[in-house]
Amino acid sequence: MNTSGKGKILIIDDNEDVLFALNLLLKPHVENIRVSADPAKIARFIEQYRPDVILLDMNFRRDAISGQEGFAWLQKILEIDPQAVVILMTAYADTGKAVQAVKAGATDFISKPWEKEKLLTTISSALQLRASRNEVSILKKQMTALYDEPAGEIIGESEAMQHVFSMIAKLAGTDANILILGENGTGKDIVARAIYQHSPRAGEVFVSIDLGSIPESLFESELFGYEKGAFTDARKEKPGRMEAASGGTLFLDEIANLSLPMQAKLLTAIEKRQIMRLGSNHHIPVDVRFICATNSDVYRDVEDGRFRQDLLYRINTIELHIPPLRERGNDTILLADHFVHRFAMKYKKNVQGIAKEAQNKLLAYHWPGNVRELQHAVERALILSDGNVLRSADFILQPAQNRNWKTSESLNLETLEAQAIERALHRTGGNVNKAAELLGITRFALYRKLKR
C-alpha cells in the first residue's frame, strides 16, 4: 500500500480491540485516523473531520448478525455525503451480504478477521476512488462556473422560429437525447443551453465540448479521461467531460467530427451508461443526458459510411432543425436591432438604430454565416460609424460570388432542377411533401426526380 501521508480514515466499530488493531495497522499508511464505538457520532465526524474513507461495522448490538444496522448507518452516511467512500465490515460475511452492500452504496466489503495485505489493498483502492471523486467534484464546479450562464435570448418571430420555440417547450419535461441540426452560425449552442435550462436537469452541471476543435488523438482522453501514466504527459489522473457531466447534461457540438472508432466507444458508453478512462480497467457509471449538434448532413454521412447509424438512433430521440437566417424573413432586422443595442452599450456609442435602406440591404443579403455573421457585421458597422444611425455604407458584406451557399453558373436545366430540389429539401428539413409544395409539383413527381 503506497498511500503514506494521504487520506483520512474514520473507523466505526463497537469492538475496542478491533479499533485498536485497525488504528495500529493503518497509522503508518495514512494521514490521520479517527475511531469511535458509537455510530451516532458519524454525522459529527463527517462534518468536522471530513474523512476520505469510512470503515463501518455492520452489527452494533450484541448477538446481532443480520447487518441491518450497518445498512441503516450506510444510508445515513450517503444522505450526508453522497460521494462518501464506505467499506463495510462484519465477522458474519457471506456473498449475499457483499452484493447487498455494494448495491446499497458501499464501495467494498471486508470480513473479520481480515487478511493484512488484502485490507491494505482495499484501503488503498478506496483512497484512490475518493481522490478521483474529489477530482470530478472540482471539475464539475469548474464546468459549472464556465458554462452556468444564461442561454441568451433566442430572438425571432418567424414561423420557422416559432416551431423551434414550440419544440423547446415540448422538451422541457423530458430527459430524451436531442440532436440539433443546422448550418454554422445558426445558434445551435444557444438552443442547446435553452433546452438544458428548461429541463429536469437544469440544476445540475452543463458540460460542453466542441468536437470540431479537438484533434482526433485527444478525443478519447477529453471524453473519457485518463489515469496517471496512461501516456507520456499523463502526470496525474484526469476525469473526462462525460464523467464530469454525470448527473447533468453533456453538449457534444459538431458530433459528426467523431471518427468511426470513437463513435463506437461513445455508443458503448451511451448504451452501457458507463465509461473507462484511458489506462484503466475500471468502469465508472455515468448518468448523462446528451444534446448533440452538427452542421453536417448526418444522414448522408450514414449512407456514405462516415457515421454509424446505430449511434445516430441513440442521439436523436428528438431531432430539432434550426433554420438558416435567410429563411427567417424579418427576424434579420429584429436580431440586428438587438445587436445594435448590445454593442452601443459595450462601446458607449450613441447609435439609435438602422436606417431603412440599410435594413433593405440586410434583408437582401444571403447570410452564409447566419446569425453569427450578422452579429459581426453589426458590431463592425457600429464601431466604424460616425452617426447615430447605421446606414447602408456602414455594412461591409461579402460580394455575391463569395457566398458559400450552393450555386452554379450552369444553365443546364437538369443541374438547375437538382439544385432547386436540394434547396427545397434543405429548407423544409427533408420533408418531401412540403418540398414538393415549394417546387409546385406533386409528391410522386418529386420522388421520381429524386430516384432519377
Q: Is the pLDDT of residue 84 over 60?
A: yes
Interatomic CA distance for residues 88 and 71, integer angstroms:
9
**Mean local confidence (pLDDT), 10-15:** 90
Q: Say yes or no: do domains 153-321 and 413-451 share a fold.
A: no
| Stretch among 34-38, 69-73, 185-189 having the lowest mean pLDDT | 69-73
Statement: 325-402 belongs to CATH 1.10.8.60:
yes
What amino acid is encoded at 278 in this protein?
L
Q: Average pLDDT of 33-37?
A: 92
The pLDDT of residue 52 is above 50: yes
pLDDT at 90: 77
Beta strands in 211-329 (DSSP E): 225-226, 238-239, 249-253, 274-276, 283-285, 289-294, 318-321
The pLDDT score that the predictor gives to residue 108 is 86
Cell of 329: 424573413
Q: What is the CATH number of domain 413-451?
A: 1.10.10
Q: CA-CA distances (angstroms) from residue 172 to 175, 199, 444?
A: 8, 5, 37
Asked whether residue 62 carries a pLDDT value surpassing 70, the answer given is no
User: In the chain, count of helices (H) and strands (E)?
Assistant: 18, 16
Is the model's pLDDT at 402 over the cut of 50? Answer: no
Q: Answer yes or no: is pLDDT of 444 > 70.
A: no
Which pLDDT score, from 0 to 100, does residue 235 have? 80
Is the pLDDT reported for residue 352 higher than 80? Answer: yes
Question: Cβ contacts of residue 114 below 8 Å, gap of 6+?
Answer: 89
Residue for grid cell 435594413? 359
Query: CA 62, CA 443: separation in Å to the nearest integer?
Result: 81
Above 90 in pLDDT, residue 379?
yes
Closest CA to 299 of 290, 291, 308: 308
Question: If you average pLDDT over every residue of the chain, what do you get?
Answer: 84
Which pLDDT belongs to residue 404? Answer: 45
> How much is the pLDDT for 447?
63
More confident residue, 216 or 223: 223
Q: Note the pLDDT of residue 320.
A: 95
Q: Is the pLDDT of residue 309 over 90?
A: yes
Match 436580431 to its residue by C-alpha cell. Answer: 335
The alpha carbon of 298 is separated from its chain's Cα centroid by a whole number of angstroms, namely 20
CATH superfamily of 153-321: P-loop containing nucleotide triphosphate hydrolases (3.40.50.300)
In angstroms, the CA 177 to CA 192 distance is: 11
Share of the chain above pLDDT 90, in %: 43
pTM: 0.62
The structural architecture, per CATH, of the domain 8-140 is 3-Layer(aba) Sandwich (3.40)
How many angstroms separate the CA atoms of 67 and 92, rounded? 8
Residue 196, number of CB atoms within 10 A of its CB: 24
Three cell numbers, residue 436? 414538393
Domain ranges of the chain: 8-140, 153-321, 325-402, 413-451
**pLDDT at residue 431, rounded to an integer:** 66
pLDDT band at residue 147 under the 50/70/90 scheme: very low
pLDDT tens digits, one per residue of 265-291 = 999 999 999 999 988 888 899 999 999
The 10s digit of each residue's pLDDT in 113-140 is: 888 888 898 898 888 888 777 766 665 5
Question: How many other C-beta atoms lie within 10 A of the C-beta of residue 83?
Answer: 11
Model pLDDT, residue 140: 54
**Which comes out higher in pLDDT, residue 143 or 450?**
450
User: How many alpha carbons fall within 13 Å on the CB side of residue 179?
Assistant: 18
At residue 152, the pLDDT reads 57
C-alpha R_g of the chain: 30
What was the pLDDT predicted at 426? 66
How many Å is the maximal CA-CA distance in the chain? 95
Confidence of residue 406 (pLDDT cuts 50, 70, 90): very low
Q: Please tell me the predicted confidence (pLDDT) of residue 186.
A: 93
Lowest mean pLDDT among 4-18, 291-305, 311-325: 4-18
